[in-house]
Amino acid sequence: MNNKKLLEGKIEIYKHISQNVVTFPKNNIFSKLIKRSIEIVTVPKPEDLNTNQANVGIILDEKLIFKILSEHYTEVLITEIKTKKDLTKLAARKPDLVFSGVKYFHFNNKKIWLNDYLELNDILYIGSNKSSLLKESNKSRAKKIMHKLKITTAKFFTTEPGEHKNEKSMPIKFPLFVKPITGGDSRGIDKNSIVYNYPSFKKKVLEIKENQHLRCLVEKYLSGKEYSVGIFKDNQSGLIEVMPIEIIVKKNINGHHILDFDIKKNDEEEVIAVLDIKIFNQLSILAKKSFIALKGKSFGRIDFKMDHLGNPHFIEANLMPGLRTGYFYRSCLLNLKINYEDMILKIAANGLH
């Protein structure tokens, strides 16, 4: 699918968002709705919408999701959680399902993980729990888990300014790829992320520390193609559906194909179906193993990159993938041939299991 068609699809989807008031169907249709209560849980948005909220794994289009779910379920609410009291009230209402991209809250200097809190109150939710999210969010930790299972991943080490004082102290030879150890959306990744010598390595590590305030994950650079695999795990049967896609990026000014922050932000990459059956099967097997290793639940996304010989390497996982029109949606569209509404309904129905 080319970028023009994807853009047209996005325009059609986001037309719905402008409808601020959504009403339930008339009584003659209401009786056909599924009798379940669903609360779409959000937190206050920052004044600067470009600010990254560390406690939010999925930025939801809550009005659009509300409209979709309201046409199929009897009771749907949008709930903004501002205080611990709001959270307590949510638990007391005991909805059948909480549909949320929030990872945790900070109340009274205490971190409360939403999905674990819901489990304690016997409330169903979408996505994975705290334990799995912690395994996934730290890229070094996730790679160590894969290494133990003999799932190939690029050689790596972690560092920050001052730790590796010269090239001899570095455990892997150049060229290397430098990125923040946590975070999504390719934040901190740009044309300078591939480094060929110690001065450029030192400069990039310092830049990430100053801008993202994070340690760096430093990997052996892989020059091959880039892939992502969407995952659906049926909560009832345990069956896993895999949805591989290839991500194509034009060469940058340095002649490299890098899926960096600006390319993602400006939607400049091309996403296509994986037609090579051998690669499709390789990615499917590795994605399933990776998802199971992280004890993922419901849905997620696993990213891979090929080396120069075409061998797939685990890059990272996302157990709370974006639910707008990003890679997870495109993996559903290209593999399952389902639209945005069907994707949201599939996630909700699975959560209700």
Strand-pair partners of 200: none
pLDDT at 49: 65
Give the rounded distance of the alpha carbon of 121 from its chain centre.
Answer: 26
CATH T-level fold of 134-150+223-351: D-amino Acid Aminotransferase; Chain A, domain 1 (3.30.470)
Query: Of 292, 299, 301, which is closest to residue 351 (Cα–Cα)?
Result: 299
Q: 10 burial class (0-12, 13-18, 19+ CB within 10 angstroms)?
A: middle
Instruction: Judge contact between 127 and 320, C-beta under 8 A.
Output: yes
Strand residues in 59-168 grouped as ranges (E): 73-80, 97-100, 104-107, 110-113, 124-125, 156-159
pLDDT tens column, 274-322: 999 999 999 999 999 999 999 999 999 999 999 999 999 999 999 999 9
- How many of the other CB atoms lie within 10 Å of CB of 319? 25
From first to last of its 353 residues, the chain has per-residue pLDDT tens of 454 444 444 434 444 333 333 333 434 444 589 999 999 999 998 877 667 788 999 989 999 999 999 999 999 999 999 999 999 999 999 999 999 999 999 998 899 999 999 999 999 999 999 999 999 999 999 999 999 999 999 999 999 999 999 999 999 999 999 999 998 888 889 999 999 999 999 999 999 999 999 999 999 999 999 999 999 999 999 999 999 999 999 988 888 888 888 888 888 899 999 999 999 999 999 999 999 999 999 999 999 999 999 999 999 999 999 998 889 999 999 999 999 999 999 999 999 98
Query: Range(s) for CATH 3.30.1490 in the chain?
Result: 156-220
In the block, residue with structure tokens 């290494």: 147
Query: Range(s) for CATH 3.30.470.20 in the chain?
Result: 134-150+223-351
| Helices 130-137/139-148 angle, 10° precision | 100
pLDDT at 50: 67
CATH T-level fold of 18-126: Rossmann fold (3.40.50)
- How many of the other CB atoms lie within 10 Å of CB of 162? 10
Instruction: Judge contact between 210 and 79, C-beta under 8 A.
Output: no
b/e burial code for range 262-295 (CB count within 10 A of at least 16 → b): ebbeeeebebeebeeeebbebbbebbbbbbebbe
pLDDT tens column, 90-128: 999 999 999 999 999 999 889 999 999 999 999 999 999
Query: Range(s) for CATH 3.40.50 in the chain?
Result: 18-126
Instruction: Judge contact between 97 and 114, C-beta under 8 A.
Output: no
CATH number 3.30.1490 is the correct assignment for the domain at 156-220: yes
Helices (H), 227-326: 261-266, 277-293
